Structure 1
Amino acid sequence: MAGARRALTAVSRRRAALGGALRDGVAERTRRLRTAVAPVTDTVTPAGWVVGLLAVVLVVAGPLLHWRELVVAGIFLVLVLLIAVGFVVGRSPLAARLDLARDRVIVGERANGYLTLTNPSQRRSRPLVVEFPVGAGRAAFELPGLAPGALHEELFAVPTAHRAVLDVGPVTAVRADPLGLLRRVRHLSEMDRLYVHPKTLRVDGSAAGLIRDLEGRTVPKVSDNDVSFHALRGYVAGDDRRHIHWKSSAKTGSLMVRQFEETRRSHLLTVVSSRLEDYASDDEFELAISVAGSLGTQALADGQQLSAAASHGSLPAAGAQRFLDGLSGLTYDWKARRLVDVARHLGSDELAASVIVLCIGSGVSITDLRRARQYLPVDTRAIAVRCLVGDEPSVRWLGDLAVATVGRLDELAVAVRRVAA
């Protein structure tokens, strides 16, 4: 029964991915056409299109049916549209300013903003509707008429129930006719942006348990210049003379130089799969992003180097703020590659990491994990964190690949300690 349910979920997610890719393709092909007709389509409302189409039908059908009343009705509707034009022409003498109390919040935190409207003109403005988009939604306020030089303020709250990058604004003044046939907007301010960061937590001991610094862990890779001595070898033209071991050279009668084992600085790479089929639910995807965010911000707080990637490519990781900003805007990628292909196409800087953490959902099979591990450097510690909402934390090993399962974000520290044990 559970297997059949997982299969149905996989089919449903695959269908959703194909549908999303189809919508994106249609939108891209029609982009130029939609831009060209936008001045008309943005002004005429659906009700206006119905009235206009009905007016044409009545004016054409009246003479054909020898029915004068239809022609009169059609002309009346044309006059109604012309009257509606009078309500939307003209300019609004208003100026607006949109201020967010904070431009970065965590999921669930309150995000407040202030909207200030002024009338800098010498004439009184008439009442109208002022609105601005907030992500996919829209906030609207009824603005009374303002006297010359008057000011009006509104306080608003932005919902932050979901991780996102929200475009707030621009503020627009809406002029419309009483029947709602035409609707004309004018921009009054610039657009602002609000980052809703994913939930993260501090993972105590992760640095000590997972990543070794310069004085710590070495890798079995011989280098001619490092700090961990390995062996001596004969001098070759071009070797640095500072590495000549003079005592051994005097004993053997030939120049001997030192060899070293290469050590790596603390460098964490987090990889989040953004492939829809890799997750059984959106909650798994959000948990995977929170896991990556928690490990990444912990590494940066400990002074370690961080790299980040998703299925589509690299993510910003120069600092905790930029890293979380990148995770805030991470969505499903309809053209995302499988985890195996993501591991195969990692950049050289990313492959230089000392620890690689793969944040995935229940849709990634054990076979895919084994194959992905084959494309990662053998001297890099690889960990896969499978996010299965509601499951108990556990750790299993696939060769040198640790596979940790977490069901809640607060179980991440337990999984990290078990991996590091």
Structure 2
Amino acid sequence: MTTAPERATSAPAPDTDTATGTTGSTASGTTRLRRIAERERTPLQRLVDGAVGAGSPLDGARRAAGRMLRDRVVPVLEPITGFGWAVLVVTVAALVLGIMLGWKELIVIGIAGALLLLAGIAFIIGRNRYRIELDLAYTRVVVGERALGRIEIHAASPKPLLPATIEVPVGRALASFHLPRMRPGDVHEDVFAIPTSRRTILQVGPVRSVRGDPVGLLRRQVKWTDPVELFVHPKTVQLDETAPGLIRDLEGITTRDLTNSDIAFHALRDYVAGDDRRYIHWKSSARTGSLMVRQFEQTRRSVLALGLSTNPEDYADPSEFETAISVLGSVGLQAVRDEMDVVVQTSRRTLPATTGKRLLDGLSGVEWSPRHDRFLDLAATIGQAHAGASVVLLHAGAVVDPALVRRARTLLPSQARVIVVSAVQGASPRIQPIGDVVLATVGAVTDLPRVMRGVALQ
């Protein structure tokens, strides 16, 4: 039904309709809804808003006229379709030329066009009152699964309602339902399924009712609900119990900073006033005749940095990009379960990874672009922004070769263990040591548990 997301939003109904509706799921945030509303505006609305917007040099009277044009004239002209505008122009031109030149044929054409427009108006006038509920069974599904949705329409008018069409935008696609004539208190329900063939974020809704004439001159639509976001997560696999040893560090990583209390023992020194007596080394104190205390190397909590190249030039095939995302999601989920500090850096931005749900939601919206940084630039970004990382996993495609891996290693933190995951469509899983870096090749995300077991033994 759909392959890519499309943003949409709700808008107030015209004065001749009363729009009341609810959604079964939480809509997107205020910023995103503003962007959706911007895309939903018609060219006529954009033109008027540009004339009366903030910073316009128009004086107060002209601004007031502009607001009146936007609030009263635009809703009247908005139902006219492209074909309707063409008929309107031809009608006016035929009447004017026919009267000026005295051509009866043109006058007849103009009268016929005017009658068509008047008949179209008769189809769209009238007051509709609905209460519509849009509900998705799940707002998060895995790619390949079908998301089920339900629309429940209540007739909220004291008078019978004429038949109409109900439209539900789903990404770039559009689902349409025929709404029969409804009496007061009637309830109509429709169920629809959304196939998910690729990882993405879909905007489902807003639900709108549409009334128009048979010729297609006029089309009047009223929005009744807010849009609902459907997250299509990448496929992931659960790692074996032996694999998490790669990304789990119970003691953290040691540094060269010295401290009076920690885990990693460094040396003994003379006791000074204020030292904690729990760390006095009594055997050494008895042998030297003076109090000696233990000194430690400071340890820090380990950090796992996951990097993903989003430049198409780092992949030989789009499927490699999807495999790399699935691998990153699988490793990231395991790290979140292990309560590690996880950072996810793409070529464009840092993704939230405080919970597994937020991580997968972020990965659902990742797209690639030739304008994004390439593999080496990504490594440099991680080396600068996450210098304290103890483990770094970089994800890319078949284009990444050993020479590129060696160059990337010089840009990453020196204390970090580095693993580069190369997603190669159809390749057999293998592990190749390159200095102190491990280059792991996976042909599919299902190869990941086996590869991780091998990497953990390196």
Residue 370 of structure 1, aligned match among 385, 406, 414: 406
Q: Say whether the 8 Å CA contact 1:107–1:161 is kept in structure 2.
A: yes
Match of 2:135 in 1: 99
- Paired with 2:165 and 2:367, the residues of 1 have a C-alpha distance of 33
Distance 2:312 2:81 in 1: 35
Residue in structure 2 matched with residue 390 of structure 1 by the alignment: 426
Alpha-carbon distance in structure 2 between the residues aligned to 1:373 and 1:43: 60
Alignment match, 1:309: 345
Distance 1:44 1:405, change over 3 A: farther
Corresponding residue number in structure 2 for 1:285? 321
Read off the aligned partner of 2:346 and give its amino acid letter: A
Unaligned regions of 5+ residues in structure 2, if any?
1-34, 49-73
**CA deviation after TM superposition for structure 1 residue 134, in Å:** 1.2
Whole-angstrom CA distance in 2 between matches of 1:53 and 1:363: 57
For residue 330 of structure 2, what is the aligned residue in structure 1? 294
Contact 1:271 1:358 (8 Å CA) reproduced: yes
CA-CA distance at 1:269 after TM superposition:
2.2
Partner of 2:46: 36
Question: Is the deviation greater in 243-252 or in 336-345?
Answer: 243-252
Please report how far the alpha carbon of residue 377 of structure 1 lies from its aligned counterpart in structure 2 after TM superposition.
1.0
For residues 145-224 of structure 1, what are the structure 2 equivalents within 5 Å?
145-205=181-241, 207-215=243-251, 218-219=253-254, 221-224=256-259
Q: Say whether 1:84 aligns with 2:94.
A: no
2:338 is aligned with 1:328: no
The alignment's TM-score, normalised by the length of structure 2, stands at 0.75
Code of the residue aligned with 1:344 in structure 2: it is: A
Residues 206 and 375 of structure 1: is their aligned pair in 2 closer, same or farther, counting only changes over 3 Å? farther
CA spacing shift, 1:233–1:123, aligned 2, 3 Å: same
Q: Is the 8 A contact 2:200 2:233 kept in 1?
A: yes
Give the CA deviation at 1:364. 4.0
- 1:192-237 per-position Cα deviation (integer Å, ceiling 9, x unaligned): 222211111111145544134224x744644425311122457899
Does residue 231 (structure 1) correspond to residue 267 (structure 2)? The answer is yes
Shift of 1:395: 1.7
- 8 A contact 2:133–2:153 mirrored in 1: yes
Aligned to 1:401: 437
Take 2:320 and 2:107, find their aligned partners in 1: how far apart are those partners?
61
| Aligned equivalents of 2:291, 2:106: Cα separation in 1 | 108
SS at match of 1:94: strand
Residue 260 in structure 1 maps to residue 296 in structure 2: yes
Alignment CA distance shift 1:155-1:284 (3 Å)? same
Range that drifts further, 153-162 or 271-280? 271-280
CA contact (8 A) 1:220 1:379 kept: no
Question: What amino acid is the match of 2:161?
Answer: S
| 1:130 corresponds to 2:172 | no
Question: In 2, distance between residues paired with 1:178 and 1:230?
Answer: 86
Return the alpha-carbon distance in structure 1 between the equivalents of residues 342 and 187 of structure 2: 48
CA–CA separation in structure 2 for the residues paired with 1:420 and 1:163: 29
Q: Percent identity?
A: 45
Deviations 1:379-420 (A, max 9, x none): 111111111111111222232221111111111122212222
1:46-81 deviation line (CA, Å, top 9, x unaligned): 322443454466557668987552354245334433
Alignment-derived partner of residue 416 in structure 1: 452
2:389·2:413 contact (CA, 8 Å) conserved in 1? no
Which residue type is aligned with residue 138 of structure 1?
A: L
What is the TM-score when the length of structure 1 is the normalising length?
Answer: 0.81
Tell me, yes or no, if the aligned pair for 1:288 and 1:387 is still in contact at 8 Å: yes
**SS of residue matched to 1:152:** strand
The number of residue pairs the alignment matches comes to 393
User: SS at 2:129's partner residue?
Assistant: coil
Counterpart pick for 1:272 among 286, 302, 308: 308
Q: Shift in Å at residue 140 of structure 1?
A: 0.6
Letter in 2 for 1:147: R
CA, structure 1 residues 175+258, in 2 after alignment: closer, same or farther (shift >3 Å)? same
Aligned counterparts, 1:62-77, within 5 A: 67-77=103-113
Q: Following TM superposition, by how much is the alpha carbon of 1:174 offset from its aligned partner in structure 2, in angstroms?
A: 0.5
Q: Does 2:417 match 1:381?
A: yes
Structure 2 CA distance for partners of 1:369 and 1:78, relative to 1, 3 Å: farther
Q: Is contact 1:267-1:306 (8 Å) kept?
A: yes
1:115 to 142, 148, 151: 151
Instruction: Tell me the residue number matched to 1:22.
Output: none
Query: Following TM superposition, by how much is the alpha carbon of 1:106 offset from its aligned partner in structure 2, in angstroms?
Result: 1.2
Q: Determine the structure 2 residue equivalent to 1:346.
A: 382
Select between 256-265 and 239-248 the one with higher mean Cα deviation.
239-248
AA partner of residue 91 (structure 1): R
Structure 1 portions without partners, runs of 5+: 1-26
Give the distance between the partners of 2:392 and 2:288, measured in 1 at CA. 44
- SS at the partner of 1:80? helix
- C-alpha separation between the residues in 1 aligned to 2:377 and 2:277? 44
Coordinate RMSD, CA, aligned = 3.4
Please tell me whether residue 47 in structure 1 is matched to residue 83 in structure 2.
yes
State the secondary structure of the residue aligned to 2:141.
Answer: strand
- Cα drift, residue 254 of structure 1: 8.1
Distance 1:400 1:42 in 2: 65
